[in-house]
Amino acid sequence: MNQLEQLKQYTTVVADTGDFQSIKAYAPQDATTNPSLILKAVQKPEYLPLLQKAVAESNGGSTEEIVDRLLIAFGVEILKFVPGRVSTEIDAALSFDTEATVAKGRELIALYEAAGVPRERVLIKIASTWEGIRAAEILEKDGIHCNLTLLFSLCQAVACAEAGVQLISPFVGRIYDWYKKSSGTDYQGADDPGVQSVKRIYQYYRAYGYKTEVMGASFRNTSQILELAGCDLLTISPDLLQKLADSDAPVERKLSQESDAPVEKIAVDEKSFRFMLNEDAMGTEKLAEGIRAFVADSKKLKKMIEEMR
């Protein structure tokens, strides 16, 4: 078996793309999208008709309503190629507004259900701010499952688990980027700070029996992926899926369901969450940077829509 096939024995593989053909080629269980991936996709001729259709069927609706229709159109198409779930992201501009995030999550699920997609097949992606985590807690109680993204610190992961969130997406590659830039060190294998962060979260969840799924995300190379073999899920870009498919080197399980590592319990309320995140320079900077980047790409997408109307 190639490395991708071997990896699927230990971990649920998720495609991190809005490209249907890539999803079809690598047969993942789930797929994830975000504003940057959707923006990239609609700039390709083969996906432009989805955008044009969303605009045409808007009946004079707002740009935000057209964006929502486009997100659901991509999600519905993606679900034709994966047996599991698709993650659809809420506008990052709402990252510090709990009520607006809850309302948008309910709107997106209603649109999916109107399109014949049951809510069990959708994960609503929300930034892992304190406000976003509180919104996810409310949505989960409604039976709307969430994927908490832009997650860089253990305090974010603990708060998500205690809120009963379905799934978190710790960003391996962006953590690696920050430490590489700050130290000048090109970390490899198990020494990679991004890999170590996900392992620490995984072990913490196992130690205290949390049910929240851990999905490593934002990979820069296959070494990071292989160091996390055994993690609940890994969401992987098409280029790295191809590299795994092209290699026949052995894949060893690195994470297991059992954890005997001593892990100190962390108490997280709003004050301690904000303090711990503030003490983590990497987590603070990458969370803010990630929100800004997603907002910028959302604005570009909205501009494309407005120019088509």
- pLDDT computed for residue 179 by the predictor: 98
* Spatial distance between the Cα atoms of 244 and 202, rounded to a whole number of angstroms: 23
Domain coverage including residue 101: 3-308
What's the whole-number mean pLDDT along residues 51-71?
Answer: 91
* Spatial distance between the Cα atoms of 144 and 141, rounded to a whole number of angstroms: 7
| Whether 125 is catalytic | yes
Assess whether pLDDT exceeds 70 at residue 261.
no
What's the whole-number mean pLDDT along residues 151-179?
Answer: 98
Identify the H or E element spanning 134.
helix 130-141
Assess whether pLDDT exceeds 90 at residue 220.
yes
What's the whole-number mean pLDDT along residues 115-142?
Answer: 98
Tokens of 299: 């604005």
Helix, coil or strand: residue 12: strand
> Residues near 110 by Cβ (< 8 Å), separated by ≥ 6?
none
What's the whole-number mean pLDDT along residues 13-21?
Answer: 94
Assess whether pLDDT exceeds 70 at residue 153.
yes
**Under 8 Å between Cβ of 216 and 231:** yes
Nearest to 79 by CA among 31, 14, 15, 144: 31
Nearest to 157 by CA among 222, 214, 224, 75: 214
Query: How many structural domains are present in the chain?
Result: 1
| Burial of 267 (C-beta count, 10 Å sphere; 0-12/13-18/19+) | exposed
Mean pLDDT of the chain: 95
CA angle, 184 then 200 then 15, to 5°: 80
For the chain, the 3-state helix, strand and coil shares in percent, each to the nearest 5, are 55, 10, 30
Q: Put residue 59 in one of left, alpha, beta given phi > 0 → left and psi -120 to 50 → alpha.
A: left
- pLDDT computed for residue 258 by the predictor: 72
DSSP designation for 121: G
pLDDT digits (tens, 9 = 90+) for 43-57: 999 999 999 999 988
CA angle, 232 then 235 then 240, to 5°: 125
Q: Which of the two residues, 7 and 256, has the higher pLDDT score?
A: 7
Tokens of 80: 């034709």
Catalytic residue, chosen from 104, 125, 199, 302, is 125
CB atoms within 10 A of CB 132: 30
CB atoms within 10 A of CB 274: 14
Give me the CATH number covering residue 293: 3.20.20.70
* Span between the terminal Cα atoms of the chain, in Å: 49
Assess whether pLDDT exceeds 70 at residue 262.
no
* Spatial distance between the Cα atoms of 1 and 7, rounded to a whole number of angstroms: 10
